[in-house]
């Protein structure tokens, strides 16, 4: 299923298409769209996931805060509205 991501980057509203088969997460998709290197982010994210195996909220908070520091805000993922074709 196709999704649409809307976000603000450095005070500029943006939108892009997203498919789960191309990117690991919405954060990877928006970083790729902006040409950002996430290698240090992924390394820290992996370490945090190992330490906080039962606490997924810590990883999510890290992701949100990291991208906020990069200048992202209002990150929203939406399903594309497909018309119901039932008779």
Q: Distance between CA atoms of 27 and 68, rounded to whole angstroms?
A: 11
Query: What is the value of pTM for the model shown?
Result: 0.78
What's the pLDDT at 1?
57
> Tens-of-pLDDT digits for all 87 residues of the chain?
578 999 999 999 999 988 878 888 899 999 999 999 999 999 999 999 999 888 889 899 999 999 999 999 999 988 766 544 443
Residue closest to 45 by CA, chosen among 30, 29, 64: 64
Query: Which residues have a Cβ under 8 Å from the Cβ of 22 and sit 6 or more positions away?
Result: 29
């Amino acid at each position: 299923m196709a999704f649409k991501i809307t976000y603000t980057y450095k005070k500029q509203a943006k939108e892009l298409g997203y498919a789960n088969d191309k990117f690991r997460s919405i954060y990877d998709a928006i970083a790729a769209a902006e040409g950002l290197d996430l290698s240090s982010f992924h390394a820290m994210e992996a370490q945090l996931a190992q330490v906080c195996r039962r606490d997924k909220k810590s990883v999510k908070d890290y992701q949100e805060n990291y991208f906020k520091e990069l200048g992202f805000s209002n990150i929203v993922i939406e399903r594309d509205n497909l018309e119901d074709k039932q008779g």
